[in-house]
Structures are given as C-alpha cells and as structure tokens.
Amino acid sequence: MLSERPLRGEDVRGRGFAVDAPYAILETLEPGIGRLLARNPSPYTYIGTQTYVAGAGAEMVVIDPGPDIPEHVAAIVAAAGERRIVAIACTHTHRDHSPAARSLKAATGAPIIGCAALSLESVGPRADASFDGDYMPDRVLADGDSIDFGDGEALVAVATPGHTSNHLCYSYRGNGAGGALFTGDHVMGWSTTVVVPPDGDMGCFMASLNLLRKRDDRVFYPAHGAPVTNTQQFLRGLIGHRMQREKQIVRLVGEGKADIPAIVASAYPGLDPRLIPAAGGSVWAHLLDLERRGMVRSNGETWTIART
C-alpha cells in the first residue's frame, strides 16, 4: 500500500471509479494502523471515505468513522474485536466523515472526541447541506491536545482550518512507531482539496498547508486516496498548485473575466459538470482571499483588479 504513488490532483477527476475497491475489509497499512473503506464513491469522495483505526494493543482509536452505512459501522466494530475503542475522532463534520460516529458510539459505548461541532456565525449559518449538523462531540480537542491510550500511545490534534473551520489532523504516536498524520480532507491522496466559502477559507487553508511544511511527518493518511509518503514534496506541489491557480485567477480577472462562472469556464476546461459548483466555490475562496489582500475588488457578483 505504501508503495502506491499518490494520484496527481485534478487529473483524476471525472474518471470512472473502481468497482472492486475493498469495501468493509480491514487492511493493515503498518503495525498499529489499519484502514476500512466506506462504500460511498462519488466525484467528491473518490472510491469512498477511508476510516482509519490506530492502536497496537488492547486499546485503539477510530479516525473519521465515515458515513452512517450499516455495513461500514459493522466492519469497524468487527475490526475492533475485543479491543476497546477509547475515542471516535472526526477530522471535520462533512457528511462523508462524521455521521457514523453516532452509530459507532451506540454500538460500542466509545466517546466522540475531536473536532468541534460547526459553529454558526451571527449573520447566518456557515453550513450547507454537506455538513453533519447532528454531530455532538463528548470532548473537543484544541491544537496540541492529545488522547492518550494503550501503552504509551497517543493521538494528538493538529488544528488545520481551511477546508472547514473546524478541521483537525491527527498525529499518531505509537510505542516505537511515529510520524503518521491522519490528514482528513486537508491533504488528500487523489485530488486537490475543495475549499468553499463561507466556512471554507483559502487563507486559512494555505496557512494550514504551510504549518505542515514545518512538521516532519513520515506519512500522510488521507480520508480519500492513497497514502502520501513524499510528504514535504507533496506539500510543495499542493502549495505551488494553489499559487498557480491564484495567479491564473488574477490574470483572468484582469482580462475581463468578471464573474465566477466565466473564470471557472476558463480555468477548468473540460471539467466534469458535477464538479462545477465545487470549482466555483474554490474560485470564490481565492477571490475572497485576494480581496482581503487588496488585490481584487468585488462589486456584487463582478470582480475587478484593485488599482491603488
């Protein structure tokens, strides 16, 4: 598994999805870390959400239990076997990540510990239909907080807002093994992350990518796509891709592509039509970030270069 090359960004979007993916089967990735794939393939989730289990002994944690599919929840319970689940930890509260937390808690008695429920702004909800509004954690982790379990094992929260405001990655420290970071949707192994305002924030997302540049994680285990072993090189690629996209958007606005549909049509030629809303969201996220930095200006739905 670890020898798989991470798929490159947007070029895999729109292709067919594997039908023989190993759904509801526990795959061991390395000592103490296993993976279960949920049967929720889509243009946004690739072949499905990957739930990880971590723990080398009698206790374990579950990261991103996934969508509430009975087959998937049963597979997680079976993977635990006699072991005690000390925490059900969600990276964020999109519907393909957190809903199974409730069923898994009901089945095992394990607590939901990790990201915060989505906060609402006073001006209105930041959430849309993609959010799991029923998520209720028993304990919220802040950056650096840890879940200690087993014989010296720990899962440590790394705050990585951007994809969503409540996104956490989790660093696993095993007894002996270390350096694995569960990256949720912050860094994915098959595609670039979708950042959609108002909850998604491109400035925060870039800062959170740069935060991982300062770490020395050995491997990223994303919720979608293959493990990433060339972590620093991969991050440089992601950051470079976003900077190119930003440059392209500034150029297109300068050429008179004044609204988001016009920018998407130019910047994402041949895009799977099902992904146009996500592309529009990402362009919007870039424009808001550029506006904050004084580079573009909005007037209703239209955008122009800010001239000083």
For residues 94 and 102, which CB has a smaller minimum distance to Zn ion in the complex?
A: 94
For residues 72 and 94, which CB has a smaller minimum distance to Zn ion in the complex?
A: 94
Q: How far is the CB of 297 from Zn ion (least distance, A)?
A: 30
Q: How far is the CB of 67 from Zn ion (least distance, A)?
A: 12
Specify whether the CB–CB gap between 238 and 192 falls below 8 A: yes
Q: How far is the CB of 194 from Zn ion (least distance, A)?
A: 7
* Interface with Zn ion, residue 95, by CB under 5 A: no
What is the number of the residue whose Cβ is closest to Zn ion? 94
Point out which span in 43-51, 67-75, 177-185, 205-213 binds Zn ion (CB under 5 A).
177-185
* Main-chain dihedrals φ then ψ at residue 154, nearest 5 degrees: -155, 150
For residues 55 and 200, which CB has a smaller minimum distance to Zn ion in the complex?
A: 200
DSSP helix/strand/coil, 173: strand
Q: How far is the CB of 94 from Zn ion (least distance, A)?
A: 3
The DSSP letter of residue 91 is S
Angle in degrees, CA 168, 180, 155, rounded to 5: 55
Point out which span in 90-98, 131-139, 264-272, 278-286 binds Zn ion (CB under 5 A).
90-98
For residues 6 and 281, which CB has a smaller minimum distance to Zn ion in the complex?
A: 281
- The residues pairing with 297 across neighbouring beta strands, listed in sequence order, are 304
Point out which span in 94-102, 109-117, 169-177, 295-303 binds Zn ion (CB under 5 A).
94-102
Among positions 132, 153, 185, 201, the unique one binding Zn ion when judged by CB under 5 A:
185
DSSP helix/strand/coil, 285: helix
Q: How far is the CB of 97 from Zn ion (least distance, A)?
A: 6
Q: How far is the CB of 92 from Zn ion (least distance, A)?
A: 6
Count interface residues toward Zn ion (CB under 5 A). Answer: 2
Amino acid at 274: R
For residues 72 and 257, which CB has a smaller minimum distance to Zn ion in the complex?
A: 72
Specify whether the CB–CB gap between 198 and 126 falls below 8 A: yes
Chain centroid to Cα 188, Å, comes to 7
DSSP helix/strand/coil, 119: coil
Q: How far is the CB of 185 from Zn ion (least distance, A)?
A: 4
Q: How far is the CB of 202 from Zn ion (least distance, A)?
A: 15
For residues 118 and 235, which CB has a smaller minimum distance to Zn ion in the complex?
A: 118
Among positions 72, 94, 95, 286, the unique one binding Zn ion when judged by CB under 5 A:
94
Specify whether the CB–CB gap between 243 and 270 falls below 8 A: no
Point out which span in 10-18, 86-94, 271-279, 281-289 binds Zn ion (CB under 5 A).
86-94
Q: Strand runs (DSSP E) across the chain, as ranges?
A: 27-30, 33-37, 50-54, 59-63, 84-89, 113-114, 139-140, 146-149, 153-159, 168-173, 180-184, 219-222, 296-299, 302-305
How many angstroms separate the CA atoms of 306 and 308, rounded?
6
Q: Count of CB atoms within 10 A of residue 106's CB?
A: 10
Q: What residues make contact with Zn ion under the rule CB under 5 A? A: 94, 185
